[in-house]
Amino acid sequence: MKTIALMPVRNEAAMLPFSLACLSSCCDVIMVCDQASTDSSRDICRQFPKVILIESSTAAVCEVGRWKLLDAARDYEGKNLLWCTDADELISPARFRDFLARDRARLVPGTVVAGQFHQLWERPDQYRDDGSAYAPYWKEFGLVDDRTTDFDRSPSLPLHQPRVPLAAGQTTLRSENLHVLHLQWLMADVNQMKQAWYRCKEWLDGSTSVEINRRYSITLPATRVRTSPVPEEWTEGLRFPELVDGGVTWQEKEILEAFEEHGAEFFEPLEIWHIPSLGQLFRDQVGRRPRPDRSYRPPFSQRARHFARRVVAGTRRRLLA
C-alpha cells in the first residue's frame, strides 16, 4: 500500500516549500494539480522528487482539481491510502509515520481516515479553541482507495465539497495521532479577501445573498478569540513560512475584474465591505456606504440573550479553571 498525497494548487508559492517538504517525509508520492498558477508554484513543485505535477492551462475551483487527482492516483496499482490535503496545511511527518505504523492493519479498502483540524491563529504556536466553528474538529483527510468510490461530479458543483469521496457504509478511523494545522488564519487580511472571493463567485453562480452571507458569517472578523498553545509534538519536523502581505492576491484581482464588469453596486448585498479596499471602491463608484443584506441575522433581542448566555458560560469556565 502506497501513501499518495493529493493536493490542488493555485498560486501557493508562499506555502508550497513547507507543505511539500512535510509530505515528502511521510508519503510515497505527492500529486499536485496546478490550476494555472501565475506565481512560481509549478517551479517549486519541480524541486521535489516525489511530486507528480498535473498542469492545467485554465483555472478551476479546487474541487475539480480533486477529481483529476483521484483519477491520476488510480494509475498506481493497489488499494492505496490517499491523503487529500491543501498547500496551507501541515502535519508532523513523525506523527503521520507513527499513525501508519500503529494502524496499518486497520487500513482496509474503503476506510476513511479522519484527523483533528486546528486553525492556527495569528501565530504558529497557538490555535483557536473557543467553541466556535473554528475550534478543533474531526475532518476526513484520507481514504484507503477501494477504486470504486467517487466524488459527486454533477455540473451544479457546490464549493467546499468533502475532501475525500464518501459513500454509505464506509468505516471512519479517527486517529488521535493526526493533528492537521491549517495556516489560513495566520494572514487574516489575505484570508478575508479569499472569503470575499467565495461570496462573489457564489453570487455570480446564482446563490441568494441570504444563503451566502449566512454561510460565510463565521469568517467575519472576530474579537475576544480564545486560543490554546500548540503542543511541541504536533510540530515535530515542521518548518513554518514567514508570511507577509504580498500585495494584491489573485482573488482580489478577480473580484476587481468582476466589479469592473458588473459594477460594485451589483455586489452590494454581500457582506464584503468590511474589507477597507472594497468598501472604499464601493463608495468611490456609488457615492454612498454599502448596505449589505443582513436579514439572515436573528432579531436583536435574540442575539442579546445568546450573548448573555455566552458571558455566563465564560464566567463559569474561568471560575472553575
- Over residues 274-281, mean pLDDT: 97
Same domain? 12 vs 154: yes
Residue 173 lies inside a defined structural domain of this protein: yes
Average pLDDT of the chain to the nearest whole number? 91
Residue 246 has pLDDT above 80, yes or no: no
Same domain? 72 vs 159: yes
Same domain? 51 vs 110: yes
Same domain? 135 vs 149: yes
Same domain? 67 vs 119: yes
Residue 265 has pLDDT above 60, yes or no: yes
Give every CB contact of residue 43 below 8 A, 6+ residues apart in sequence.
none
Same domain? 73 vs 169: yes
Residue 206, class by beta-carbon neighbours within 10 Å (0-12 exposed, 13-18 middle, 19+ buried)? exposed
Same domain? 78 vs 213: no
Count the Cβ atoms, other than its own, within 10 Å of residue 38.
12
What does the pLDDT read at residue 315? 58
Residue 147 lies inside a defined structural domain of this protein: yes
Same domain? 98 vs 59: yes
Residue 203 lies inside a defined structural domain of this protein: yes
CATH code, domain with 20: 3.90.550.10
> pLDDT of 20-74, one tens digit each?
999 999 999 999 999 999 999 999 999 999 999 999 888 877 888 899 999 999 9
Same domain? 168 vs 57: yes
- Over residues 129-137, mean pLDDT: 93
Same domain? 134 vs 204: no
Residue 300 lies inside a defined structural domain of this protein: no
Residue 319 lies inside a defined structural domain of this protein: no
Lowest mean pLDDT among 145-159, 195-209, 220-234, 254-268: 145-159
Residue 294 lies inside a defined structural domain of this protein: no
Residue 313 lies inside a defined structural domain of this protein: no
Q: Is the dihedral of CA 200, 151, 66, 140 positive or negative?
A: positive
- Number of separate domains in the chain: 2
Lowest mean pLDDT among 5-14, 84-93, 171-180, 296-305: 296-305
Lowest mean pLDDT among 65-79, 99-113, 238-252, 296-310: 296-310
Under a CB-based contact definition with an 8 Å cutoff, are residues 19 and 90 in contact? yes
Under a CB-based contact definition with an 8 Å cutoff, are residues 92 and 237 in contact? yes
With cut-offs at 50, 70 and 90, classify the pLDDT of residue 223. confident
Nearest CA among 235, 248, 290 for reference residue 268: 290
Same domain? 80 vs 125: yes
User: Which structural domain range is residue 278 located in?
Assistant: 187-233+241-286
> Among residues of the chain, what percentage have pLDDT more than 70?
91
What does the pLDDT read at residue 159? 72
What does the pLDDT read at residue 154? 82
- Over residues 229-241, mean pLDDT: 96
**Integer Cα distance of 278 and 269 in angstroms:** 13
Same domain? 192 vs 178: no
CA distances from 138 to 130, 173, 180 (A): 15, 11, 10
Residue 308 lies inside a defined structural domain of this protein: no
* Residue 180: all three cell numbers together: 492537521
**Integer Cα distance of 262 and 284 in angstroms:** 15
